[in-house]
A and B are shown apart, each in its own frame.
Chain A
Amino acid sequence: MNKRILIVGNPNVGKSVIFNKLTGIYVTVSNYPGTTVEITKGYTRLPLGDVEVIDTPGLYSLLPITDEERVSRRVLFANPGGVALQVADARNLARMLPLTFQLIQAGFQVVLAVNMLDEAARDGWHLDLETLSQQLELPVVGTVATNGEGLDQLKEALTSALLERGKVKSGFRPSRSKELQAKLDQVTALLTGNYPLSQAGIAALLVSGDREIEELVKKTEKLGRWRQLKKVLAEGNGRYKWGPGYQLALEDHAQAAEIVEKISTQFRPRAGRWRDWLSILASDPVSGSPILLAVVYLGLYQFVGRFGAGFLVDFLDQNLFRNLLIPASRSLVTALIPSPFWNSLFIGDYGILTLGVRYAVAIILPIVGCFFFFFSLLEDSGYLPRLAMLMDRACKRIGLNGRAVIPMVLGLGCDTMATMTTRILETKRERIIATFLLALAVPCSAQLGVILALLSPYPGAVLVWATVVLFVLLLTGHLLGRFLPGNPPLFYLEVPPLRLPRLSNILVKTYSRMQWYFLEVLPVFIGVSVAVWAGKVTGVFRGLLHLIEPVMAALGLPKEAAACFLFGFFRRDYGAAGLFDLAHSGALSTRNLVTAAVTLTLFLPCVAQFAVMWKERGPVVSLLIVTAILPLAFSAGYLVNLLLLTFGL
Chain B
Amino acid sequence: MNQIPLTLLSPGTTAKIAGINSRQSGLVHKLAALGVLPGLPISVIQTYPSYLVQINQTQLALDQATARCIVVLV
Measured CB to CB, the residues of A under 8 A from B are 10, 60-61, 63, 65, 91-92, 94-95, 98, 123, 208-209, 241-243, 245-246, 249-250, 253-254, 279-280, 283-285, 385-386, 388-390, 392-393, 396, 401-402, 488, 490-497
Contacts and interface: CB of A to CB of B under 8 A. Distances in A.
B56 A385 contact: no
Contacts of B19: 241-242, 246
B61 A123 contact: no
B56 A92 contact: yes
B50 interface: yes
B42 interface: no
A246 B26 CA distance: 10
Interface string B8-39: 00000000000110000111111111110111
A418 to B, nearest CB: 21
Contact of A245 (B25, B37, B66): B25
B48 A392 contact: no
A390 B33 contact: no
Given A95-B33, A95-B35, A242-B20, A390 B62 contact: no
B46 to A, nearest CB: 6
B60 interface: yes
A492 B32 CA distance: 12
Nearest to A252: B32
- Top 9 nearest A-B pairs (CB, nearest first) are A60-B33, A389-B61, A491-B63, A389-B50, A495-B59, A249-B32, A91-B57, A493-B61, A393-B49
Q: Which of B26, B48, B50 has the most CB of A within 10 A?
A: B50
B73 interface: no
Chain B: interface residue count, which band? 20 to 34
B5 to A, nearest CB: 15
B4 interface: no
B52 A65 contact: no
B1 interface: no
B57 A283 contact: no
A385 to B, nearest CB: 7
A4 to B, nearest CB: 26
Contacts of A496: 59
B30 A65 contact: yes
B30 A245 contact: no
B49 to A, nearest CB: 5
A208 B63 contact: no
A389 B52 contact: yes
Given A246-B28, A285-B48, A402-B61, 17 more contacts: A61-B33, A95-B58, A123-B57, A245-B28, A245-B29, A246-B20, A389-B49, A389-B61, A390-B50, A393-B49, A490-B27, A491-B50, A492-B62, A492-B63, A494-B34, A495-B52, A495-B61
Contacts of A94: 35, 56
Nearest to B11: A284
Contacts of B20: 242, 246
B29 A283 contact: no
B63 A401 contact: yes
Contact of A63 (B29, B39, B50, B56): B29
A21 to B, nearest CB: 24
Nearest to A208: B29
Nearest to B31: A492
A285 B49 contact: yes
A638 B66 CA distance: 43
Contact of B49 (A65, A243, A245, A392): A392
A386 B60 CA distance: 10
Contact of A492 (B34, B37, B45, B57): B34
Contacts of A396: 63
Contacts of A497: 59
B33 A495 contact: no
A241 B37 CA distance: 13
A496 B48 CA distance: 19
6 contacts: A65-B26, A92-B56, A250-B37, A280-B46, A390-B49, A402-B63
Contacts of B25: 209, 243, 245
B24 to A, nearest CB: 8
Nearest to A426: B26
Contacts of A254: 37, 39
Contact of A60 (B34, B45, B49): B34
Given A491-B63, A492-B34, A393 B50 contact: yes
A487 B30 CA distance: 17
Nearest to B54: A495
Contacts of A91: 57
A494 B59 CA distance: 6
Contacts of B62: 491-492
A254 B28 CA distance: 16
Contacts of A390: 49-50
Contacts of B57: 91-92, 123
Contacts of B39: 254
A495 B63 contact: no
Contacts of A494: 34, 58-61
Given A392-B50, A402-B61, A494-B58, A65 B29 contact: yes
A555 to B, nearest CB: 39
